[in-house]
Each structure stands twice: as C-alpha cells, then as structure tokens.
Structure 1
Amino acid sequence: MYVIIFTVFAIWMLFFDGNSFLIHHELNSEMKALENERDYYIKEIQKDKKAIKALSTEEGLERLAREKYYMKRENEEIYIIEYEDSIKNKSDYD
C-alpha cells in the first residue's frame, strides 16, 4: 500500500506538479542560454570599450580616418594596394 502511494506521489511530483522536474529542466536550459548571451554581450562591451579608448586619442582618430575612410593630409598621396585574392572576379558578381 505504501509503495503504491509513494509511486503515485513520485510520479505526480516528477511530471504533473507546478514545480515538476520537467519545468526545472526547462528553466535550467533557459538560464544557461541567458548566461551564454550575457557572456557574449560582456565580451562585446569590452571590445567596444577598447574601440572607444582607441578613438579618444588624436592618433586613434587619425588611424581610423586613414584606414576606413581613406582620408589623407594635404600634399599627401595614398596608394591602395589590393592583392589578387582580395580582388573580386566577374564570376563573383553573377
């Protein structure tokens, strides 16, 4: 008699109760996903802080302007050298 009652109670607690094992497993999986997402955003924030720190100096701004926007000083010539593997072929546009 006690075994039957214990079995029914265990089944009820594992599957049907509001705090069942299945719900706990779902919540734990969701927590792990959120922790991974948090870690990703922490890394992105650190990367952005480094970029802001680099851009806060005059040299950093000049480097960004030269590398990304191809700006130059007066009386200065800039030559952009493209390697063969970085040039797009006609077949890349198709």
Structure 2
Amino acid sequence: MKFIEPISMKRLINLVKNKFFLVTMAFLVWMIFFDKNDLFSQYEYRRQVNKLKQERDFYKKEIDQVTKELDELTSNPQKLEKFAREKYLMKKDNEDVYVIVHEKKEK
C-alpha cells in the first residue's frame, strides 16, 4: 500500500516565496478583515436585513388586521357601536357603564 507523502518543507517554502501566492493571500486577508465590506460587516448587515424583514412582515399583518377592522366598522353600524362601547367606554344617555377590572393574583 502506497501512502501519499505530505508536502515537503522545500515545496512549502517555495509556495510561500511565490509572488502570486503571497498576493492572493494578502488580498484574502485584506478582504476578510480590513475592507469596508469585510465578513463581520456583512454578517451584521445580514442580521439587520433579517430583523427588518421580520418587522416588515409584522407591520404588514397589523395593517391588514386594522384595515379589515376599519372596513367592518364603516360598513356595519352594530360593529361600530360595539367598538365605541368597548374601546372608548361610550354610552347612550339613559345608560350606566360599569367597568370590571380583574386583579391579577400573585403567587
């Protein structure tokens, strides 16, 4: 059985002395660590984009929900009256309103 010989020391030194190898390594180090758009910045930008996408989706859902409620309130007088009574505690002239607040029990 024949084993593959590891890279000899002479070959490694020749590789390190090669100007193309040195330029390529310098370029890679520069791009990874020192450039304006280095890997760390790209990671942070990607995280921000994902966070903003989540916020966008949340607000789209909220807008859809509010638009649906608005359509219901403008088209149905009973819904409008119920909304005014529940949210703004409005009442008719001959009515009394009682607000019941449930206390949270501490453990």
TM over 0.5: yes
Contact 1:54-1:60 within 8 A present in 2 as well: yes
- Where does the alignment leave 5 or more consecutive residues of structure 1 unmatched? none
TM-score, with length taken from structure 2? 0.61
Amino acid at match of 2:58: Y
Task: Give the structure, 1 or 2, with the largest relative contact order (CA under 8 Å, sep 6 or more).
Answer: 1
Following TM superposition, the consecutive aligned residue runs of length 4 or more in structure 1 with deviations greater than 6 angstroms are none
**Of residues 53, 57, 66 in structure 2, which corresponds to 1:35?**
53
Look up the match of 2:14: none
For 1:11-33, what per-residue CA distance to the aligned partner results, in whole angstroms no more than 9, with x for missing partners? Answer: 11111012222221111111111
Deviation at 1:42, TM superposition (A): 0.4
Question: What SS does structure 2 have at the residue aligned with 1:44?
Answer: helix
User: Which structure is larger by alpha-carbon Rg, 1 or 2?
Assistant: 2
Show the counterpart of 2:102: 87
Write the distance in 1 (CA, Å) between the matches of 2:92 and 2:55.
40
Specify which structure has the higher proportion of helix.
1
Q: Using the alignment, how far apart are the partners of 2:37 and 2:96 within structure 1?
A: 71
Which residue in the other structure is 1:15 paired with?
33
How many pairs align?
A: 86
- Under a length normalisation based on structure 1, what TM-score does the superposition of the two structures give? 0.68
Task: Report how far residue 37 of structure 1 moved.
Answer: 0.8
Distance 1:87 1:41, change over 3 A: closer
> What's 1:65 paired with?
84
Q: Percent identity?
A: 31
